[in-house]
Structures are given as C-alpha cells and as structure tokens.
Amino acid sequence: MQKSKQVYLLGQKLRNIYNNITDKAIAITKLTHWYIDVENLGIKSFNAITNTIKINYESILNHFERRSTNAKKSV
C-alpha cells in the first residue's frame, strides 16, 4: 500500500477513535494500536501529534470518559 494512503488511513483512524469511542479502556487500546501503527510507518509528519498525545495523554483520555475537553465553548 502506498505511504500516502497509509497516512490518510491513519488520520482517519485517529479521527474515528476521537469521534466514536466513548469508553476510556477501549480508547487506551485503540490509541495504543494507532500509535504503534504510526511508529511502524515511520512518517515524520506524525511526530507533532504523537508528541502532543504523549504530553497530554491523561487529558486526552478524559475526553473519552466525560466527552469533555479543556477548550472553552465559543458562542
């Protein structure tokens, strides 16, 4: 499979995890598999997002528990 297609699919996979998973334990597993897939692909353009996930891991997981973020609601 072409790398560009793999990159696209990994982006979609992350979006689907964030938008559709509502259980924290499942989110941990899915994010771990996603992260491994990204590392195995070796695309540097994913470094920023993987570093962001590492740094903010607990806050990100809270989204799956309470479907909340630390972002302010815009009016």
Closest listed residue to residue 30, CA positions, set 46, 44, 10: 10
> 10-42: b or e for each residue (b if 16 or more CB lie within 10 Å)?
beebbeebeeebeeeeebeebbeebbeebeeee
What is the pTM for the complete model shown? 0.77
Residues 34-66 pLDDT 10s = 999 999 998 888 888 889 988 998 888 888 877
Task: Name the token pair of 47.
Answer: 């470094």
